Structure formats: structure tokens, C-alpha cells
Amino acid sequence: MKVFFVKNASLSGMSHDCVFLSLAGGGGGIVSDRIKCLIYNDRKYLGSFLYDDTDFLCCSGNLGEYCAEDECSNINYSLKELPTALAKAFLSWQDRSDLNGLFYRDSGKVSYISFSDYCVFKSDVKSGLHSTQVHDFYIKLDRVNKSLSSYGRDLKKLWEQRLDIKYFFISAERFLAASFAESSFIAMLGHRSSQKIFHLNQLGKPTQLNVFSNSEIASFALKDGQQNWSHITKYTIDGWQLLEEQVFLATSNGVEVLDAHSGKELRQIDFGWDNHYWQADGAGLYVSEQYVIYGHSFQKKLLILDRFDLSLIRDVELPEHWFPQARFKPFYHQHSNKLYLNLKTDQLVAENQVLLEIDLADIHAPVVFENEPEFEICQIPSSENSQWHSIEINCSDPAYDDDFDTVLRFADRHCRDQAYIHATCTLTKHFSRHKDSVDEKFDGKVYFNYQGKQKDTDLVQQRLVMMEKRFSRWVEDEEASSINGYCQLITNCQH
């Protein structure tokens, strides 16, 4: 098992026969074989750009990065004028929650539907209005008004079913539905029970929490919405997966397996953890042909179970201070049989996520971190005030002379981390356990100096400029400041 200092894993490619895995986050990405991934750009949101030694292959990202805003609002905006590779990359991103619309293919033509033109279908997680796609249908769940409805591709309503109760929900949880036997779909509706409890937060202060239990998952007919079966759990359902006519549930205290035809419970395991009620919204799972990968953020546990009897195969010993992300959404790369899921940390860093790679063919492999270039981080006198200091980060590792993208990726994290550690204030810091960490002598300036033997010096300089722009975007979003004003990154390259 290997830990990569990146956030995301995704598939990109020009066709199903030409698919490449990219591990993306911060700067340059890690990509299989000879394909490289560049994820830098000067916009707020990142896109990923795949290329080999000579040719540009494809890119993917937010729609607004490639189309004018007025074009995006058209219901049948055609992507015919865009490269085929780009259109296919867009299609692979259609389930992303940050898109404001949907790409679909009809008779070879790629079109785009803007959800902003159809408020009835647009999701609003704060009010309990959610939507998802099943085949050519769009299913909408309205937890507040107690209804479940279906829409066609043209977004005309096909049917609506009233629900018995008003379900409680966590604002961050997405509504997911999975098709089953072509004629039905399965969906987690919400939680039937809610209570308020007092709990000491990470700062030791009492806070009031909404805790949920008795989650309900059900099966419905696609043609008319009639309910086939329903199952209510004792604990909170944090994640679930449909595989080979069985439904696997990750609850706040264990795993349950249901028959997808009838909803009957086939097997289950309770881990017997204390305080599992307020620890809801912490679990996640992935089910492979042989294993159930179960993780729990609050318990700081990553478990590998046998898929067929739920017996424990391995309790993975994770690196200190690292634990599975709550409700993690793993990414499976079929060609390599490797699974990727996010780990988080409680350490004083700005970039608090990494990606854990699990080789399902070798689940007993030790957990190791990827190799990192050598960086020297120190404090230097400020040019603004003799009583203040700046942060200087230097990298001159000859082992990475031919791999500037990796240097850039790690440097990007170190620069943000140092600004986060020493800044007087950032939004994330303000709302976290780290808000008392303040360096009153930090002047806000972070210097990154790179010394190497790169052949393409213009490209290196261009990447450094992009790095500064991305840092500025981060400062803007976080409102990261010191006593001397907003934080700033200054880069320099020597050959």
C-alpha cells in the first residue's frame, strides 16, 4: 500500500481503449506509463491535461473553463466543435457534483443540459432536495416535502410518489440511486430518527449535535415508482454499494448485506464501538470481488473484511495522525486492480488529504509513503521589518532534475502548509482546532527557490508563475493573512 501526496484519482482518455489513470492534486500528477498529467492552471478550479512527450491528448474539468458563460446556458449546447477527446472527457465527468449541468450523448451528438434553467431538478442539499441519474431517467428526492419523482431526458415529470414520513438528513450527504434488474432502482432515503446530544469538540468545548439513526434504504420500480421493499437499519447508513444482486451497507457501527431482490438481511457484523451514534457520517466502504474495504474516520480504522462472511482479514495500521476520510468515495482502477481512497490528518497543515493506494492483489503489503524530494525550510529576516521574518523553502535535489512536476507538486503543498502554520488567520484555521496557532512575527511572505538542471527553462518558469497564481487563489479563498497583510508567494529558479 502506498500513500501519494495528492487528493484525487481519475480516469481520462480518448476512448475506452485508451484510458489512463491520473493521480492529481496540487501540481503535476502521477500517471501510468509514459503519459504525464499537468493539473496546473491559473483558474480557481483545476482541470487536468494529459499529454505524452509530444502530443496533447485531452483535458477535463469544469465546463466554464472551456465555454463562454452565455453558451453554457443553452439547453442543447453542442460540443461538436470541440475535439472528440475533450467531449468524451466531459462525458466521464457527468456525475461530478460541482457541475451545473449534465452532458449526454444522443445519436452520436454530445449535448449539455443546464440545471440552472430547470430549478425543479436542481439539487439543493441544504433543503433536502436531491437528484441523480438512473439510465435515461433522473430521480428527484424531496426529503422536506416527502416526495420521490422521476423525469425523462427532456426533464418532463413522469411520475411522483408521496413518502410516508419526512426524513432527516445530513446536509453534506448526496442522494445516490443504483439501477437493478433494468426495471428498478435502489436508493437510501434518509434517517427516520434524530436527537440532539451534547458533545465536547476537539477544543474541549461543549457543542450540540444532531445525531441520526434508523436509516432507510428501499427499492422502487422505474416505470411508476412503486416500492418493492424497504429496510431500516439500527445505525446510520454512511455509504452503500450494489454488487451482484447484493446491497452492502456501511453503517456507523458495522456492515450489513441485503438481498437486492427482497431486501432481506443476509449477514451483518457490529464492531461494538462506543459513541457510535454521534460518530455517524464517518464510515465508508468499497466492495471488490473478494473483499469489503471498510473505513471509519472517527474510529481511525481501516478494515479489510472477507466479502462472503464478513470475517476480519486485516486491520490496517495506518501512519500516525492519518485516518480514512469520512464517507470516503473510493476510486477503482480496473486495469491495475488498485483502489484509491482519501486519508485525512489532524496535523497542522493546509493540505490535509492524501491518497492511499491499495493493491487488491496484495492486501497485506505494508503502508509506505511515496518518495519525496528534499526540501530545506527555514526562517529568514523580513525585508519589511527587522523584527519580523519570512519563510524560505529551497529545493535542489539532483535526483529530481528530470522530474520537475513532482518537485512542483510537493513544493505547492509545502508553501501552503507553511503559510497556514504561520499565518495570523485563515478561514480553515478559524473554524478548526488549529486556530490558536499564530506566528505574530511572520510577515506573510513565502519564498520558494528551485535549483536544478531542467532543459526547458521557459517551461519551468511558466509553471512557477502558475504556482504563484494558484497560491494567490488559495489565499483569496482562505483569506490567509499575517500582521503584514495577505500572504504572498515569491518563486525563483536557478540553473
The pLDDT, as a whole number, for residue 431 is: 58
Give the C-alpha separation, 332 to 359, whole Å.
Answer: 10
- Which of 10-19, 199-208, 245-254, 258-267 is the least confident region? 10-19
What size, in residues, is the chain? 495
The answer to whether the pTM exceeds 0.85 is no
Distant-in-sequence contacts of 469-473, Cβ < 8 A, 24+ apart:
469/42, 470/40, 470/42, 470/412, 471/412, 471/415, 471/416, 471/419, 471/446, 473/43, 473/44
141 neighbors 130 (Cβ within 8 angstroms): yes
For the range 152-157, what are the long-range contacts, defined as Cβ-Cβ under 8 Å and sequence gap of 24 or more? 153/104, 153/106, 155/113, 155/118, 155/120, 155/121, 157/120
Higher pLDDT, 194 or 359: 359
| Burial class of residue 32 (count of CB atoms within 10 Å of its CB; 0-12, 13-18, 19+) | middle
Choose between 425 and 183: higher pLDDT. Answer: 183
What sign results for the dihedral spanned by CA atoms 245, 249, 254, 258? negative
Mean pLDDT of 139-166: 82
Q: What is the pLDDT of residue 134?
A: 78
Residue 48's pLDDT band, with cuts at 50, 70 and 90, is very low
Distance of alpha carbon 274 from alpha carbon 251, whole angstroms: 14
The pLDDT, as a whole number, for residue 127 is 54
The values of phi and psi at residue 479, to 5°, are: 55, 45
Exposed / middle / buried, residue 62 (Cβ in 10 Å: 0-12, 13-18, 19+): middle
Q: What pLDDT, on a 0 to 100 scale, did the predictor assign at position 174?
A: 63
pLDDT score recorded for residue 24: 54
Residue 137: strand pairing partners? 134
Write out the three cell numbers for 377.
Answer: 525550510
Q: Identify the pLDDT of residue 446.
A: 96
Q: What integer pLDDT is reported at residue 35 of this predicted model? A: 46
What pLDDT shows up at residue 54?
40
- Please report which confidence band the pLDDT of residue 470 belongs to, taking 50, 70 and 90 as the band edges: confident
Model pLDDT for residues 197-247, shown as the tens digit of each residue: 666 655 556 776 667 778 899 999 999 999 999 999 988 888 899 999 999
Separation of alpha carbons 225 and 228, rounded Å: 9
- Grade residue 380 by pLDDT with cuts at 50, 70 and 90: very high
pLDDT of residue 79: 32
* Most distant pair of Cα atoms in the chain: their distance: 74
Place of cell 480557481: 44
pLDDT tens digits, one per residue of 389-429: 999 999 998 888 878 878 888 998 899 999 988 887 776 76
Cell numbers for 353: 488529504
pLDDT digits over 271-301, tens only? 988 765 555 568 899 999 999 999 998 889 9
Query: What integer pLDDT is reported at residue 276 of this predicted model?
Result: 52
More confident residue, 108 or 366: 366
> Does residue 269 surpass a pLDDT of 50?
yes
Residues 6+ apart with CB under 8 A from 209: 196, 197, 198, 199, 278
- Span 34-46, pLDDT tens digits: 444 444 443 443 3
Listed by start position, the domains of the chain span 375-494
Whether pLDDT at 26 is above 70: no
Torsion angles phi and psi, residue 338, rounded to 5? -120, 145
pLDDT score for 43: 41
Distance CA 470, CA 463 (A): 10
Q: What is the pLDDT of residue 303?
A: 96
Beta-bridge mates of residue 422: none
> Which of 99-113, 184-198, 225-239 has the lowest average pLDDT?
99-113
Between 475 and 483, name the one with better pLDDT.
475
Contact 33, 52 (CB under 8 A): no
The candidate with the shortest Cα–Cα distance to 434, out of 410, 413, 417, 414, is 417
- Tell me the average pLDDT across 133-149: 81
Residues 6+ apart with CB under 8 A from 392: 377, 378, 379, 380, 446, 447, 449
- pLDDT at position 306 is 97
pLDDT at site 406: 83
**Mean pLDDT across the chain, nearest whole number?**
74
